[in-house]
Amino acid sequence: MSSSSDNTENTQNDRSARMLRNAQRSVLGNVTNTIVSQQNGSQQSAIRSLKAALANRDNSRTLQYNKDSFVSVQKLKSGNANDVNCASSGSNTSVSRNSSSLAPEGKENQDPFVPSSKVLPSIEEEVRDKNNDNLLPQSQSSLSSNETNSETDHPPSRLSARTFDAGKKRPISTVVEQDVPKKFKVCGGDGEEEYEWEDLDAEDSNDPFMVSEYVNEIFEYLSHLEVVTLPREEDLYKHRNIRQNRDILVNWLVKIHNKFGLLPETLYLAINTMDRFLCKELVQLDKLQLVGTSCLFIASKYEEVYSPSIKHFASETDGACTEEEIKEGEKFILKTLSFNLNYPNPMNFLRRISKADDYDIQSRTLAKFLLEISLVDFRFIGILPSLCAAAAMFLSRKMLGKGKWDGNLIHYSGGYTKAQLAPVCHMLMDYLVSPIVHDEFHRKYQSRRFMKASIISVQWALKVRKNGYDIMTLHE
């Protein structure tokens, strides 16, 4: 009996709980339906107001297209805002609607998607924007002054705000004024002016790679090193037939250097290392190729980013030098030179002079060929690399018909004048008109990569010698 009574009580409790939940749901449903209906009503009212605003805006825009509503350029130039208002008020009804739409109080011309402070532009504003560039600064100042005076009497309009902003604009000049380089004068011992040069390093002050603040000290140090590392021609004559043997060896080194695609600095350093070593040590004729191969191997590891393997150098000798012999030769050469490879490369001096030549690619390519003549020809041993670079640039400019050797070229070449360059220039001319000894060297500069510099130089030299021209005064 007790169990049946308990079940009856549980059933009644469940019924009462369901009834209570249903009552709550009905109440919440009424509230939700009321809120939704209110939101729908507000949305519908907003849509109706939006449609009305768009219709008024379209009507006002269509009514503005009237000949009388356009503001002439002469009235805008006069800068009188009252004249503009009078011109708009003196027209027909459509013009009066246009003038009323310019005021912020009128909501017919207001965009519902933007704040109330932003008003749609009118035809007067469009005409004002098109003719804004033709306004004079005086008219702009008069317009701004009249607008500031009329702010106290009339509410600010969109046209006056746009005119005031336009008055602040100024044309931006595209002409960049370049600084004139500073000029310096160099006087001789008697006090007379010798030449005048310009400071071309000042333009590189913002380029950290050009180190313009240290460039003078750097080339002073290189000028000191070129004297220390200069081989002497007298010391090389202790080897028998060194001149002919050296020509053959250098011609082979140029071939290997060009085949591996190495840098020009690598070839200059290799031959300088070889000449300095031969000045100190007496080498047998059968070991001369080993010396050249070891020097090129040392220079490639010193200058190149990716140096060829020692196997490649050994294979190019056709079995004359093994890998172990090249390693032993490398050790012996470095020990003899006290590991001193601080050679002032002539390419550094050539790039320095090319700055005064406006970095002309044609003259510099011809100068590279002429400068490399001083490397392969035995007669140039003992001549400073800076002097050879200056003579090469001087002769290349003569080939291209350029002007005289001015003060900038004298200064950036290291102070070499025409009188100092004359002997080296004549030596270069003698090599060009002589029979070809270093065929690999000439074949290297016959390619398009070097603009066929060897062909152009040889033809020009033969023509100058045939006609008896003086190269020091040519094209001046």
Domain residue ranges in the chain:
67-167, 199-213+346-476, 230-343
Return the DSSP state at 103.
S
Q: Which pLDDT value is given to residue 10?
A: 60
* pLDDT score of 209: 86
pTM of the predicted model, to two decimals?
A: 0.62
Residue 129 is predicted with a pLDDT of 57
Report the 10 Å Cβ neighbour count for 271: 26
pLDDT (0 to 100) of residue 189: 64
Is the pLDDT at 25 greater than 70, yes or no?
A: no
pLDDT at 202 over 80: yes
Mean pLDDT of 108-127: 47
Band of pLDDT at residue 186, cut at 50, 70 and 90: confident
Nearest one of 434, 440, 374, 376 to 247, comparing CA atoms: 376
Residue bearing the bigger pLDDT, 129 or 452: 452
By CB atoms closer than 10 A (0-12, 13-18, 19+), residue 293 is: buried
- Mean pLDDT confidence for 196-223: 89
In this predicted structure, what is the pLDDT of residue 203?
85
At 354, the pLDDT band (50, 70, 90 cuts) reads: very high
Q: For 363-381, what is the mean pLDDT?
A: 95
Average pLDDT over residues 175-179: 52
- pLDDT band for position 91 (cuts 50, 70, 90): very low
DSSP class of residue 193? E
State how beta strands 183-187 and 193-198 pair: antiparallel
The fold adopted by the segment(s) 199-213+346-476 is Cyclin A; domain 1 (1.10.472)
- The domains spanning 199-213+346-476 and 230-343 adopt the same CATH topology: yes
Question: Rounded to an integer, what distance in angstroms lies between the CA atom of residue 121 and that of residue 99?
Answer: 12
Q: What are phi and psi of 172, to 5 degrees?
A: -95, 125
Residue 98 has pLDDT above 60, yes or no: no
Lowest mean pLDDT among 175-179, 180-184, 377-381, 457-461: 175-179
Residue 208, pLDDT above cutoff 70: yes
Question: Mean pLDDT over residues 3-19, rounded?
Answer: 61
- Tell which residue, 202, 101, 86, 115, has the closest CA to residue 158: 101
Q: What is the pLDDT of residue 49?
A: 75
pLDDT for the residue numbered 308: 94
Q: Does the pLDDT of residue 433 top 60, yes or no?
A: yes
Task: Report d(CA 212, CA 207) in Å as an integer.
Answer: 8
Over 80: is that where the pLDDT of 205 sits? Answer: yes
Mean pLDDT for the stretch of residues 281-301? 95
* 335 pLDDT tier (thresholds 50, 70, 90): very high
Residue 81 confidence (pLDDT): 43
Decide if pLDDT at 112 tops 70: no
pLDDT > 70 fraction of the chain, expressed in percent and rounded: 62
* CATH of span 230-343: 1.10.472.10
Average pLDDT, the chain: 76
Is the pLDDT at 328 greater than 50? The verdict is: yes
pLDDT of 66 strictly over 50: no
Q: Mean pLDDT across the stretch 429-434?
A: 96
Q: What is the mean pLDDT of residues 224-237?
A: 93
